[in-house]
Amino acid sequence: MMKKQSTSKGFAILSAATMIVKVLSLLYIPFLKNIISLGGYGVYAAAYQIFAWIYVLANAGIPVAISKLVSEQIAQGRYRDAVKSFKIARLMMFVLGVVFSLILFFFAGSLAEFTDYPEARLSIMALAPTLLFTSILSSYRGYFQGRGNMGPTAISQVIEQVANTIFTLVFAATFIKFGVDAGAAGGTLGTSIGAFIAAVYMIVMYEKNKIIRVPKGYQDKSSNTNKATIKKILYYGIPLVVCVGLQYSGNIIDLKIVKSRLLDIGFTTTYANERFALLNVYRTLLGVPIALISAFQVSLLPALSGASALKDREAVQHKINYAFRFCFLLALPSAVGLAVLGRPIFMLFTGAAEGAFLLYFGAIVLVLNSVVLIQTTILQSIGKMYLSTLYIVLGIAGKIVVNYILVGVPELNIIGAVFGNYVMFLIPLIMNYRLIKKELNIRVKLIEYAWKPFLASLFMGFIVLGTFTVIYTLAKELVPENLNNIIASIFAIGMGVISYVYGLVLTKGITKKDMDAFPERFKRFIPNGILKRMV
Question: DSSP characters for 39-93?
Answer: HHHHHHHHHHHHHHHHHHHHHSSHHHHHHHHHHHHHHTT-HHHHHHHHHHHHHHH
Amino acid identity, position 432: N
- The residues, ordered by sequence, that sit 6+ positions from 493 with a Cβ below 8 Å of its Cβ are 337, 341, 464
What is the average pLDDT across 325-352? Answer: 87
> ∠ at Cα 340 (334, 40), nearest 5°?
85
Distance CA 265, CA 261 (A): 6
Measured in whole angstroms, how far is the alpha carbon of residue 275 from the centre of its chain?
22
φ, ψ dihedrals at 353, nearest 5°: -95, 5
pLDDT at 314: 75
Distance CA 504, CA 527 (A): 14
**pLDDT, tens digit, for every residue of 269-327?**
888 888 888 888 888 888 888 877 876 766 666 667 666 666 777 777 777 888 888 88
Distance CA 155, CA 139 (A): 15
What is the average pLDDT across 417-440? Answer: 90
C-beta separation of 82 from 70 below 8 A: yes
Report CA Rg, the chain: 23
Residue of 387, 343, 334 lying closest to 363 (CA atoms): 334
Distance CA 490, CA 499 (A): 14
Distance CA 57, CA 104 (A): 12
What is the average pLDDT across 197-220? Answer: 76
pLDDT at 50: 86
pLDDT at 306: 65
Residue of 239, 237, 238 lying closest to 392 (CA atoms): 239
Q: How many CA atoms lie within 13 A of 74 on its CB side?
A: 26
C-beta separation of 278 from 355 below 8 A: yes
3-state helix vs strand vs coil in the chain, percent to 5? 85, 0, 15
Measured in whole angstroms, how far is the alpha carbon of residue 363 from the centre of its chain?
15
The per-residue pLDDT of the chain, averaged, comes to 82
**pLDDT, tens digit, for every residue of 65-118?**
777 777 777 777 777 778 888 888 888 889 989 999 999 999 999 988 888 888
Distances (CA, A) of 478 to 345, 467, 471, 475, 482: 21, 17, 11, 5, 12
Q: How many CB atoms lie within 10 A of CB 120?
A: 32
**In this model, does residue 62 exceed pLDDT 80?**
no
Residue of 424, 375, 376, 428 lying closest to 396 (CA atoms): 424
pLDDT at 201: 93
Q: Where are the alpha helices (DSSP H) in 408-527?
A: 415-440, 446-475, 481-506, 512-515, 520-523
pLDDT at 390: 83
pLDDT at 49: 85
**In this model, does residue 133 exceed pLDDT 80?**
yes
Q: pLDDT class for 518, splitting at 50, 70, 90?
A: low
> ∠ at Cα 298 (297, 299), nearest 5°?
95
Q: Own/partner pairs for 376-380, CB < 8 Å, 24+ apart?
A: 376/243, 376/244, 376/297, 376/432, 377/297, 377/300, 377/301, 377/304, 377/323, 378/304, 378/320, 378/323, 378/436, 378/440, 379/432, 379/435, 379/436, 380/64, 380/68, 380/236, 380/240, 380/301, 380/305
Amino acid identity, position 488: A
- Least confident window among 348-357, 474-483, 508-517: 508-517
Distance CA 413, CA 422 (A): 16
Q: pLDDT class for 1, splitting at 50, 70, 90?
A: very low
Q: How many CB atoms lie within 10 A of CB 106?
A: 11
Distance CA 375, CA 388 (A): 9
pLDDT at 529: 62
**In this model, does residue 384 exceed pLDDT 80?**
no
C-beta separation of 396 from 424 below 8 A: yes
**In this model, does residue 2 exceed pLDDT 50?**
no
Q: What percentage of residues in the chain have a pLDDT greater than 90?
A: 24
pLDDT at 245: 73
φ, ψ dihedrals at 161, nearest 5°: -75, -35
pLDDT at 521: 56
Distance CA 78, CA 103 (A): 37
Q: How many CB atoms lie within 10 A of CB 230?
A: 16
